[in-house]
Homo-oligomer: A and B are copies of this chain.
Amino acid sequence: MSAPRFERVALIGIGHIGSSLARVLQRDNLAREIVACDRRAETLDKVRSLGLADRVADDPAEAVRGADLVVIATPLSAYAEIGRRIATAVMPGAILTDVGSVKGAVVRDLQPVVAQGVHLVPGHPVAGTEHSGPESGFAEVFQNRWCILTPPADGDPAALARVSALWEAAGMKVVIMDAEHHDMVLAITSHLPHLIAYTIVGTATDLEESLKSEVIKFSAGGFRDFTRIAASDPVMWRDVFLSNREAVLEMLQRFNEDLTALQRAIRWGEGKKLEELFTRTRAIRRSIIEAKQA
């Protein structure tokens, strides 16, 4: 499908991903008008000075009025409240989508309040850096990454096609799956890695002061890669873990069992076991390089 064009796009929440999308819309001229909404005046000031929107608003209900595309790009904990406030304001025929990292919660919080005739297409562009705020976005962030859409079974095919085309215009490869499966896949590929990274960086933070400065100094030995991940937005990630609790705890349980086995192998000097695992994990890296996701 060729690039879609929207009359008025309302971006509810305009941080790293929201502002990156705004830049795509502007670059490719995909919207006649962009309305940016954020609850923080400071963020809206930045949006204005960056020229990312035609209009700003701090009230979601006002922002969505007359929009044929509404994109929620806030932390997940804001969804329920936003849903309530925009419920009657979104115009019939409009598409409502989002960029959240958990999809079951979207269905739970938004589906019930979406008015008849509004097309809900939950989405998750798997892209982004560890930076936050509208100043950190850039149009190329989506390039060659996957966007997962989790439309309801009885969803409108035309709305799905338009949202797909939007993300494809941003350079993404679009894949459709159900929300529950999405949350399981992301629990292992994204949520657990973040949880682990936050933990180990936290463990290092709690070391005695003298050791801590050395941790920073010698971080190039591996630790540094974790700090990048553990620098991700605290509120966004708090919400991810709370919204995808079951899947995250399930994956964490598996990880814990594996870590305990490895710990035991180290304690008992079982070199063969260690070498076997480390050889196996090396193969996964090759698969990722072959899949061009490295």
Q: Mark A162-189, 1 if CB is under 8 A from B, else 0.
A: 0000000000000100000000111011
Main secondary structure of the interface of A (DSSP, over half): helix
A77, closest chain B residue (CB): B271
The interface stretch among A19-27, A89-97, A110-118, A256-264 is A256-264
A281 nearest CB across to chain B (Å): 4
Closest chain B CB from A231 CB (angstroms): 4
Seed contacts A126-B220, A217-B293, A233-B278; 6 additional CB < 8 Å A-B pairs:
A189-B204, A190-B221, A193-B226, A195-B266, A202-B258, A234-B278
Residues on A close to B: CB < 8 A? 77, 101, 126-127, 130, 145-146, 148, 175, 184-186, 188-207, 211, 214-235, 237-239, 241-242, 245, 248-249, 251-252, 254-256, 258-259, 262-263, 266-267, 269, 271, 274-275, 277-282, 284-288, 291, 293-294
A214 to B126, CA, bound (A): 13
Say whether, besides A193-B225, A227-B284, A227-B285, A262 and B218 are in contact (CB < 8 Å): no
Contact B190 A218 (CB under 8 A): yes
Q: A251 to B130, Cβ gap below 8 A?
A: no
Whether B219 contacts A281 by the Cβ 8 Å rule is no
Q: Are A279 and B234 in contact (CB under 8 A)?
A: yes
Q: A205-B284, A258-B203, A288-B227 are in contact. Are A189 and B269 (CB under 8 A)?
A: no
Say yes or no: A195 contacts B262, CB within 8 Å. Answer: yes
Contact among B189, B195, B274, B287 with A218 in the assembled complex (CB-CB below 8 Å): B189
- Contact among B231, B258, B271 with A199 in the assembled complex (CB-CB below 8 Å): B258
Contacts of A232 in B (CB 8 A): 278, 282
**B277 & A202 in contact (Cβ 8 Å cutoff):** yes
Contact, CB under 8 Å: A196 / B200:
yes
CA distance A227 to B216 in the complex (A): 22
User: Could you tell me if A266 and B241 are in contact, using CB atoms closer than 8 angstroms?
Assistant: yes
Interchain nearest-CB distance for A21 vs B (Å) = 17
Bound form: Cα–Cα A219–B225 in Å = 15
Chain B positions within 8 Å of A214 at CB level: 185, 189
